Amino acid sequence: MADLPIAAIIRIAKQNGADRVGSDAAAALVQKTEEYIATIAKEATKLASHAGRKTIKAEDIEMACSSS
């Protein structure tokens, strides 16, 4: 089961031009979004650890996004 709410993903898609979003497309968007978030979170965790911290900060997220 997905962690992100499908309704939120559909709302974002519609706010960005989609008139309609099929259920299979919404499920695929949720899956890909969660994969992207996991990738960024893993990289940000590495960066925080390298800085001697356990807490991920916004700067770690920014750096993780710029490096991927």
Residue 59 sits in a domain of what CATH number? 1.10.20.10
Domain tally for the chain? 1
Q: Is residue 28 part of a domain?
A: yes
Q: What is the pTM of this model?
A: 0.86
* Structure confidence by residue, pLDDT tens digits, 2-39: 799 999 999 999 999 999 999 999 999 999 999 999 99
Q: What is the DSSP letter of 52?
A: T
Residue 1 has pLDDT above 80, yes or no: no
Tell me, yes or no, whether 52 lies in a domain: yes
Residue 5 placed within a domain: no
Query: d(Cα 41, Cα 50) in Å, to the nearest integer?
Result: 14
In a domain, 56, yes or no: yes
Any domain includes 9? no
Q: Is residue 7 in a domain?
A: no
- Per residue in 40-66, pLDDT (tens digit) is 999 999 999 999 999 999 999 999 999
* Domain boundaries, position 62: 23-67
In a domain, residue 57? The reply is: yes
Distance from C-alpha of 16 to C-alpha of 61, rounded to nearest angstrom: 23
